[in-house]
Amino acid sequence: MKLLPNMLQINSSVRSRFKQVAQMNNQMRYTNGKYDNDDYLSDLLDVIKIRSKIVGVGGAGNNTVSRLQEIDLEGAKTLNVNTDAHDLYYSNSDNKILIGKETCNGLGSGNSPFIGAEAAEEDMKRLRNGLKSDIVFITCGLGGGTGTGAAPIIAREAKKNGSIVVSFCSIPFSSEGNERRSRAQIGLNQLANFSDTMITFPNNNLVKIIPKVPLITGFKIMDEIIIRSIREVVSLINSCGLINIDFADVKKIFEKTSKYPSGFIGITESLGDKSDVITKSKLAIHNPLLELDANKIDKCLVSISGNHHLTLSIMDSIVSTISNEIPSNAQLKVGNAVDPKLGSKIRIMVLGRGPVSPYVRAAIDDDEDLFMKLMS
């Protein structure tokens, strides 16, 4: 039963949608005896539901989104964007946009970020219409053509729509050469200008952690890490827990407070005994793949998921461990959700605001020497 007019289901921000509802409330109070009952509230929740969109840009981004589709991610729509018709055809997403038909003829960008950007500009209006959401997650690999060149344009158009933009991107291995490194630096600089939060995953850090892994396996591992990060953030926004973290909490974490977009995420799973919980909590707040300084965190969300047997003692151990690793004046909020699928495992996710990736800082400052040193 629809108690709210269909015209409210429009492409605008959640704040605008709720404002439209609020402006109608006085009229509905007198004309509709069922105002504020469960049917009305159900309709209202549909109208103000947070809309998330995950956008995979270029080959690496398309692969990430395709994997997200395979795991039946709920609470978000997906969009793959590419200049290569072949790659886009074999990718999997709710919607697809082949950009730059005139520029690239469906044959790709030839590893040129300039062509990738030109292709995105060619389809700017289509991209903007396809991006309308409250929060847009962009995932891409930097150093190539389409992801490096088109992702900043896509982020720019998402910001024009009033969306929060959270970018997840991988930094190439140093072994991939100076040309790819240089392209990655330029792309990171441009993407940072239009991102509220940037989480960079340097491939080189994989070498430090698991040096003997085959190259293809390394790429798959990094892909899985990005997939898991996006999945957990989307689930956090859309899930109702026993101790709830809502969109307003997440939005504060993603807010851009300076010219350097910050971003921290750490996800671990514990077997449940106290010593392992403490170890995994420290691992979550000191993510070795990001190598960011936890002492720079000024706002922090901790999401703890487990089955119905998760105890207060374990919760307290996780929260106190993480609290001791961040500044005493940092704002900390904790959420808890019941997930029977975890069995006896406990999942710990930490989202933080404040730490800036040294790659992001070097790219924004156009410090080529530092960027090269970071990748060596």
Using DSSP's 3-state secondary structure scheme, residue 338 falls into strand
Tens place of pLDDT per residue across the chain (376 aa):
455 555 554 455 666 666 666 666 655 554 555 666 777 777 777 777 788 999 999 999 999 999 999 987 888 999 999 999 999 999 999 999 999 999 999 999 999 999 999 999 999 999 999 999 999 999 999 999 999 999 999 999 999 999 999 999 999 988 889 999 999 999 999 999 999 999 999 999 988 888 888 878 887 888 889 999 999 998 888 776 656 777 888 999 999 999 999 999 999 999 989 999 999 999 999 999 998 999 999 999 999 999 988 999 999 999 999 999 999 999 999 999 888 889 999 999 999 999 999 999 999 999 999 999 998 8
**CA–CA dist 14, 51 (Å, integer):** 8
The per-residue DSSP string of 207-233 comes to: HHHSTTS-HHHHHHHHHHHHHHHHHHH
**CA–CA dist 365, 264 (Å, integer):** 20
Please give the pLDDT value at position 1.
Answer: 43
Using DSSP's 3-state secondary structure scheme, residue 97 falls into strand
**CB 55, CB 139: distance < 8 Å:** yes
Alpha helices in 161-201 (DSSP H): 178-193
Using DSSP's 3-state secondary structure scheme, residue 5 falls into coil
- Phi/psi region, residue 138 (left: phi>0; alpha: psi -120 to 50; beta: rest), is beta
Q: What's the pTM?
A: 0.90
Cα 278 to chain centroid distance, Å, stands at 26
Q: CB-based contacts of 37: which residues, under 8 Å, 6+ apart?
A: none
Going from the C-alpha of 203 to that of each of 172, 219, 334, the distances in angstroms are 6, 8, 30
Going from the C-alpha of 223 to that of each of 7, 139, 210, 256, 313, the distances in angstroms are 40, 10, 15, 25, 34
Q: CB-based contacts of 53: which residues, under 8 Å, 6+ apart?
A: 76, 77, 78, 79, 131, 133, 135, 136, 137, 163
Please give the pLDDT value at position 26.
Answer: 57
DSSP-assigned letter for residue 173: P
Handedness of CA 91, 92, 93, 96 (dihedral sign): positive
Q: What are phi and psi of 219, to 5 degrees?
A: -60, -40
**What are the chain's domains?**
52-235+365-375 (3.40.50.1440), 264-353 (3.30.1330.20)
